[in-house]
Copies of this chain bind each other. A is one copy, B any other.
Amino acid sequence: MILKSQVEWALHCCAILAGLPEGRYLSTKALAEFHGLPKEYLSKALQSLSQAGLVDTTLGPSGGYRLARPPAELTFLDIVEAVEGKARTFVCNNIRENNPCRPQGYCESGPCPVARIMWEADEAWREKLRAVRLSDLTEALALDIPADLWKSSFEWVLERAG
Query: Main secondary structure on chain A at its contact with chain B?
Result: helix
- In the docked arrangement, what's the CA distance between A87 and B89, Å? 15
Task: Closest B residue to A143 by CB, please name it.
Answer: B113
Question: Quick one: CB contact mask for A87-127 with B, threshold 8 Å, 1 for yes?
Answer: 10111110111111111001001100111111011101111
Q: Does A5 have its Cβ within 8 Å of any Cβ on chain B?
A: yes
Tell me the number of copies of this protein.
Answer: 2
Interface size grouping (class) on chain A: 35 or more
Contacts of A126 in B (CB 8 A): 121
Please provide the chain A residues from 104 to 162 with a CB less than 8 Å away from any CB of chain B in the complex.
Answer: 106, 109-110, 113-118, 120-122, 124-129, 132, 136-137, 140-141, 144, 149, 152-153, 156
Q: Known A-B contacts: A8-B95, A12-B95, A99-B149. Give 11 more (CB < 8 A).
A: A1-B2, A1-B89, A8-B115, A12-B114, A15-B114, A34-B99, A35-B95, A76-B117, A101-B149, A106-B149, A117-B140
